[in-house]
Amino acid sequence: MKFTVAIDGPAAAGKGTIARAVAAEFGFAHLDTGLLYRAVGVKALERAGGVIDPIAAELIAGSLTEADLKRADLRTTLASRAASKVAAIPGVRAALLRFQHDFARRDGGAVLDGRDIGSVICPDAEVKLFVTADDARRAQRRHRELAAAGSELTVAQVLADLKARDARDSRRKDAPLTRAPDAVLLDTTELSIDCAVAEATALIRARI
Ligand code: C5P
């Protein structure tokens, strides 16, 4: 049985947490598509000594392995920035398309979270969610995560970084961050994780 759940939204809105929870609830496979771009970004930075070369990034995207996705340094601010830079390169997006398509069509159900899942990767997904939250709340949440991992960035620095990334993700020509017309909006600004997950779960259950 094919059943795809597409979850999109800006950084730190809660997509990943919701995606992991609903995948566990329904026994679906989960793909955090941001990791694909993070892995390409980090490798492209290493390869070029700090400056991203579009052709090199495209080649890296075409030969990405499972091991690349398990690197421990994919959650850093440097990796986030590099990810959003390589994500604007059409050749990189094209190279990552097949993997995401195949994942979405696997038997037994799949949850993919990212920026363009409902709009470009899986326009025929059975359930589409667009998860958002206000800027200050997203910055607070991401700051807490980064601080727990040893980062000394301030909330203001994290906020500036999120905004720069959102702007780059929303303005790029190829597959920008956008809410698909048929995606259900879930604003998590005032919602606890449990409530947000409960809403997403109810929506999926109603469509299975
Ligand atoms: O979701 P996450 O913050 O890990 O994504 C990192 C970056 O990867 C995003 O800022 C965005 O530029 C890019 N991305 C994308 N399309 C996706 C998932 C992530 O362009 N489907």
Domain with 136, as residue range(s), is: 4-207
Q: Report the CATH number that the domain containing residue 193 is assigned in CATH.
A: 3.40.50.300
Under the banding of pLDDT at 50, 70 and 90, the label for residue 188 is very high
Which of ligand 1's atoms lies nearest the C-alpha of 74? 4
**pLDDT (0 to 100) of residue 201:** 98
Of the residues 71, 84, 130, which should be mutated to test ligand 1's pocket, given the most ligand atoms within 8 Å of the CB?
Answer: 84
2 C-alpha vs ligand 1 centroid, how far in Å? Answer: 24
The residue nearest atom 3 of ligand 1, judged by CA position, is 11
d(CA 135, CA 162): 8
pLDDT at 1: 82
Rounded CA gap, 153 and 158, in Å? 7
Transcribe 20-81 into DSSP letters: HHHHHHHT-EEEEHHHHHHHHHHHHHHHTTTS--HHHHHHHHHT--HHHHT-TTTTSHHHHH
Domain total in the chain: 1
Q: What percentage of the chain carries pLDDT values higher than 90?
A: 97
Q: What is the DSSP letter of 205?
A: H
pLDDT for 48 beyond 80: no
What are the tens digits of pLDDT across the range 104-155? 999 999 999 999 999 999 999 999 999 999 999 999 999 999 999 999 999 9
Q: How many helices (H) and strands (E) does the chain have?
A: 9, 5
Residue 113, beta-bridge partner list: 7, 32
Give tens-digit pLDDT for 164-180.
Answer: 999 999 999 999 999 99
